[in-house]
Amino acid sequence: MVSSLQRRLRVRWSELLAGVFIAAVLLPQLAALVVPYEEFPYTSAPMFAHYVGPDTPRYRFRFVAERGDGSAEREIRATDLGLNGVELSRYFLGSIYGSMDPLSPFGHHGGDTPEAFEARLSTFFRDATTVLERRGGAAPGQLSGIRLEVVRLEGGNRDGEVHVVGRYDVASHHFTHTWRGQP
Partner 1 sequence: MTSALRALRRFWFSIESPRTLALTRIVLCAYATVAMLPHDLGRLRSAGRRPMEFLDSSPVLDLLPIPFPLPEPMLAGFGYLMIGLGLLAAIGLFTRPALLLFAAGYWYIGAAISAWGYVTHSRALPAHVLLILAVAPGATAWSVDRLVAWAWRRRRGAVPPMREVLAGPAVPRWGTQLILVLIATVMLSAGLSKLRHGGLRWADGQTLGFYLTGGTTWTVAPVDAGADTAVRSVWRAGYSQLSGPSDAAPAAAWKDGFGIESYLLRATPTRLARAIARHRWLVVVLSVSAMLFELSAPVLLLGPWPRTFYLLGAVGFFLGIKFTMRISFAAWIVVCLCAVDWVWLAEQLRSGLPRWPLCRPVARAAQP
To the nearest whole angstrom, how small is the minimum distance from the Cβ of residue 25 to partner 1?
Answer: 6
How many Cα neighbours within 13 Å face the side chain of 182? Answer: 9
CA distance 38 to 28: 11
At position 177, the amino acid (one-letter code) is H
For partner 1, the closer of residues 130 and 172 by Cβ is: 130
To the nearest whole angstrom, how small is the minimum distance from the Cβ of residue 171 to partner 1?
Answer: 19
Q: Long-range contacts of range 70-78, CB-CB < 8 Å, 24 or more positions apart?
A: 73/147, 76/128, 76/132, 76/137, 76/146
To the nearest whole angstrom, how small is the minimum distance from the Cβ of residue 145 to partner 1?
Answer: 18
Between the CA of residue 90 and those of 67, 97, 167, what are the distances in Å? 27, 10, 20
To the nearest whole angstrom, how small is the minimum distance from the Cβ of residue 68 to partner 1?
Answer: 20
For partner 1, the closer of residues 23 and 171 by Cβ is: 23
For partner 1, the closer of residues 145 and 149 by Cβ is: 149
For partner 1, the closer of residues 145 and 165 by Cβ is: 165
